[in-house]
Structure 1
Amino acid sequence: MARLRKPAFVYKGVRPLADIIAAPLSAACRKRGFATLDLVAHWPDIVGPAYAETTAPDQLSWPRRPKGLIAEEEHEPAVLTVRCSGAAAMRLTLEAPQVIERINTFFGYRVVGRLRPLQLPPVRIGPRPRPRPVQLSPEAEARVRALAAGIDDDGLKAAVERLGRAVGGDSRGRR
C-alpha cells in the first residue's frame, strides 16, 4: 500500500503580499548592491519631500576589499547611484553632503560615502497620489445639493454629495 506524502507547503490562511514578494524582491535588491530593502523602501522618509518625487536609489557600489582585511576592521563606504531628473541632479549634487548624512543617520553607521546622480526618470514605488478635484461652478454645486436633499441619513447624504462633486468636477471630461 502506498503512503501518502505531505504537501511541500501548507496554507495557513491569507498571507500578506509583502511576505510573498519579500524573497524575490530582496534578491533583486542584492543584485543592485543593497543588502536589505530598507534604503529603497524608506527612501522618501530618508531624503524628505524635496527629493521623494524626483529621485530614487538605483545602485549601491561597494569598493573591493583587500585580501588581508578582517571583517571587523573599518570598511570603505559605498557609492550610491541615484536616479533623478535633470533639475534634481544638479540640486542633489549641491546638497550631497546633507543627503549622505541623512542616509548614514538612518542606518546608524557610514554606509554611503559619495552620491552619483544618474539622469534617468526615477522608478516610482507605491501608489500614485490622488488627483485633486476640480472646483465646481456654483450651478453644479447647487445641482449636487439638490440631488442629495431628499436623503435623510446624514452620512449617506455627505457621501452622495462627495460623489456628486467628484463626478461633476471630473477634469478628464467623462460624465
Structure 2
Amino acid sequence: MTTRKQPMPRKSKISPADPPMRRKRGFETAGALLSATLKAPAEQRGFGEAKLLTHWPEIVGSEIAAIARPVRISWSRGFGGTLVLLTTGGHAPVLEMQKERILAQVNATYGYRAIAHVHITQTAPTGFADGQVAFRPAPPKAPPPPDPVTLSRAMATVDQVADDGLKQALARLARNVLTPRDR
C-alpha cells in the first residue's frame, strides 16, 4: 500500500500580519517620486538631470521663463554642451542680450561649466509640435449681434408665452441660437 502525498498549501508572499513595506522614513516629495519617471524622457533630449526642465523659472527667473523654454542640450566632444532655447521671433533679441546671464545661471545650477553655449531657436506660436513656448492667448472677442429681423420674429413668438420664467428662458435661448459663433 503506497501512500500518496498531499500537496502542501502555498503560503502567500505577504501575510496579513506583516506590516506594509515602507520606501523610506516619512513622506517623500513629489520630485523624488517622479524623478525616475522623468529621467528617461529628459535624457533623450540631452538633459542629464531633469532639474533644468522642472525648475526652469527658478533657475533663470520668471521674466526669461515666460518667453523661453529649454528644448535640448547637445553635447560635443569638447567640454561643455549647447543649450537650445525656444522662443518667439519678437523675444529673440532680448534673449540674445541675456545669453551670458542665462549661461551663468544654468552653470551655477549644475555646479560646473556644463553648458558652453546658448543657442536660440525662434518659432511662431503654432510652431514645432514638441517644446512649444506657452504663449498668451488673445483676449476673447465679443460675438457679433444676431440679425435684428430674425431676432424680432423670435421674440414675437416668445411673447405669446404666459409664464414669465419660461418666457425669459426662451428669450435667452433665442439670442444664443441666433448669435453667430466662430467654429
* Structure 1 residue corresponding to 2:11, chosen from 3, 15, 31: 3
Measure the CA separation in 1 of the matches of 2:73 and 2:36. 19
Measure the CA separation in 2 of the matches of 1:107 and 1:14. 26
- In the alignment, which residue of structure 2 is the partner of 1:98? 101
What secondary structure sits across from 2:117 in the alignment? strand
TM-score (norm 2): 0.52
- In the alignment, which residue of structure 1 is the partner of 2:153? none
Residues 46 and 72 in structure 2, CA contact (< 8 A), matched pair in contact too = yes
- In the alignment, which residue of structure 1 is the partner of 2:51? 38
Q: Is 2:82 aligned against 1:61? A: no
TM-score (norm 1): 0.54
1:56-135 superposed matches below 5 A: 56-64=69-77, 76-120=79-123, 122-123=132-133
Measure the CA separation in 2 of the matches of 1:110 and 1:15. 31
- Which consecutive unaligned segments of at least 5 residues does structure 1 have? 65-74, 129-175
1:102 shift after superposition: 1.9
Residues 51 and 88 in structure 1, CA contact (< 8 A), matched pair in contact too = no
* Structure 1 residue corresponding to 2:37, chosen from 24, 30, 45: 24
Measure the CA separation in 1 of the matches of 2:35 and 2:108. 25
- Residue range with higher mean Cα deviation, 26-35 or 47-56: 47-56
- In the alignment, which residue of structure 1 is the partner of 2:177? none
Whichever of the two has the greater Rg, that structure is: 2
Cα 1:113–1:16 shift into 2, 3 Å: closer
Amino acid at match of 1:53: A
Q: How much is the aligned-residue C-alpha RMSD, in angstroms?
A: 2.8
- In the alignment, which residue of structure 1 is the partner of 2:150? none
1:80 shift after superposition: 0.3
Measure the CA separation in 2 of the matches of 1:24 and 1:123. 23
Q: Deviations over 1:93-121 (max 9, x none)?
A: 23212221221123221111111112245
Runs of 4+ in structure 1 deviating by more than 4 angstroms, as ranges, are: 10-17
Amino acid at match of 2:82: V
Measure the CA separation in 2 of the matches of 1:53 and 1:86. 14
Residues 87 and 133 in structure 2, CA contact (< 8 A), matched pair in contact too = no
Q: Percent identity?
A: 28
